[in-house]
Amino acid sequence: MNDVPVPVLIVGAGAAGLTASALLTKHGVRSLVVERRREVFIYPKARNLSFRSLEILRGLGLAEQVHAVADGMSGMLTKTSLSSAETRQAFDVDAIFAPFDGLSPEPSAQYCPQSALEPMLLEYSRGHRNRIRYGTELSSFEQDETGVTAVIRDRDSGARDTVRAEYLIAADGVHSPIRDTLGVPTSGHGALPIYVVFIYFRGPWRQFVPQLGDGDAIHVENDCVKGIFLPVRDDFGMLATTYLPGQGESAEQFTADRCREMLRAAIGEPIDVEIVAATPWQPYERVADRLRCGRVFLVGDSAHAMPPFKAGGANCAIQSAHNLAWKLAAVLNGMAAPELLDTYQAERHPIGRFSARQSLTGPSVHLLWRDDTDPRLPADEEAPMFDLLIGHRYRSAAVLSGDPVPTDPDAVSLVKELRGQPGTRVPHVWLQHGGQRVSTLDLLGPGFTVLTGRDGGPWRVAVSHASEALGVPLDSHRITDEQWAGATGLAPDGALLIRPDDFVGWRAETLPADPGVELQRALTAILGGGRAPTGSGGPGCGTRRIRGRSAPA
């Protein structure tokens, strides 16, 4: 048995775990990722990314790779069979996302299945000297005042290693053993009464739908079969269909012969198809009550699982990893007090709960839900897509807004538009910078950034002094474009302090009498105020209150 020291141990190499690893690397923190699977997903799983997730990948330099996967999402067609000439539109994804054009430098939505995203993130992390071990499982773990000791096991050889990490990220899925070991309770409906089988197959099926793009889907419904066709790659396809246990149906009934018959009925022609796999699946709506327990953090489906009807799962996972990564790095690199880590719960738990609840509806819900069994989200509770995608406003000690503390810490705070309010994602404006057209988001680096108006020259000295005094990387940009003033409503000498996750941490409407002092106060407050470290995970963690310390990576 070998001892392996590492700043952060990540359990799970799905979208959440690999994104966390990549983002920690961006902030100069190494990690070890362990995954029970022996390879990356070859099936699509999560398929679509929202512009906010695309912005995060853009910040990693992966935008071109993501864009190369597909041009976008066109929506879903409905046919009685693939070979049928009659076609109608089930819903148009482009139309759903069209209102958000202009909010981001990225497309409003982008087809990028998990089978394509995982290899990109894997290459990025390994290219920056992170270790990702497939076929490796977590056997046990313990946490104390200074870190986490975990035993990992190679599933093929049985060899065990002891890992000593400062922090542990649990990205181990909806049935998270780590969450259960910690005794973290969950809320929500749990397993939803939707029973799906994914039939993966190979065959010349795309000849009947030559116009089908990789990001498209076709809903087929006739007397013999009802389901959704999704491309995987080339002649590799997937048919998602449902069954009803209440009517005596079961996943075991989907034998290779039956799957072949269903596919031929759905295609409408007796072509030869090879059945690769028939995999049962059931969606969950489940949110952990606590996202932090001492030195352990829940990310992805272990934190907030949701059905795919509004493409919330992977997007929420990526954005939670983005929120957590810079905070862990700031503490590990000695720039922030451990109290900063408590804001992960304060900021992401309301969003996770809100996203999960809203995912009980959506344009595709009626295509897979075959009966009237609750739960469904009532129509009068369905929020606008803007609220779900970008309209949230963080409320925590890492956001200085001057607003009253909300009475319900789990209530999601929403805005109607992005105007540079503290707690919201910085507005996107196209600018000319260095002879190139860039977004305001492209001006942001891995540290904090101050964005000022055209008369913001005095902020440059303030930024330099604050960075030196606090030992915090801090950059600044003076924006002379009038669109910036219009987007933010700031005076020409006002400024926004942008956190490393692109969210506004503090706003100065105009130039203060002493901008250096005010900027230092804002940074100090956001980074934990220099108070004595506590490392508390809060109530309901299933573990004793611990005291931790910050340490360099």
104 vs 433: which has the higher pLDDT: 104
User: Can you point out the beta strands (E) in 339-462?
Assistant: 392-393, 413-414, 430-433, 436-439, 448-452
pLDDT at 147 over 80: yes
Domain boundaries, the chain: 2-44+113-190+285-387, 73-105+195-281, 404-526
Q: What is the mean pLDDT of the chain?
A: 89
Eight-class DSSP state of 6: E
pLDDT number for residue 106: 95
> For residue 364, what pLDDT is reported?
63
Predicted TM-score of the model (pTM): 0.92
Find the DSSP H helices in 369-420. 385-389
What pLDDT is attached to residue 87?
Answer: 73
Could you name the CATH architecture of 2-44+113-190+285-387? 3-Layer(bba) Sandwich (3.50)
- Lowest-confidence range among 190-194, 298-302, 353-357, 358-362? 358-362
Find the mean pLDDT for residues 2-25. 94
Q: What is the pLDDT of residues 253-289, one digit of tens each?
A: 999 999 999 999 999 999 999 999 999 999 999 999 9
Asked if residue 548 has pLDDT above 50, the reply is no
Residue from 55, 534, 20 nearest 328 by CA: 20
The CA distance from 156 to 144, in Å, is 30
Q: How far is residue 395's CA from residue 348's CA, in Å, rounded to a whole number? A: 10
pLDDT digits (tens, 9 = 90+) for 378-409: 877 888 889 999 999 999 999 999 887 778 88
Write the single-letter amino acid at 167: Y
The model's pLDDT over 66-110, given as tens digits with 9 standing for 90+, comes to 999 875 555 677 889 999 887 776 666 667 777 888 999 999 988
At 529 the pLDDT is: 60
Instruction: Return the pLDDT at 39.
Output: 83
Statement: residue 370 has pLDDT above 70: no
Averaged over 184-200, what is the pLDDT? 93
pLDDT (0 to 100) of residue 373: 66
Tokens of residue 388, six digits: 């779900």
Q: Which of 168, 174, 170, 194 is nearest to 186 (CA)?
A: 174
What is residue 91's predicted lDDT score, i.e. its pLDDT?
62
pLDDT tens, residue by residue, 41-65: 777 777 889 999 999 999 999 999 9
Measured CA to CA, the distance from residue 305 to residue 186 in angstroms comes to: 10
Correct CATH for 404-526 of 3.40.30.120, 3.30.70.270, 2.60.40.10, 3.90.340.10: 3.40.30.120
CATH number for the segment(s) 73-105+195-281: 3.30.9.10
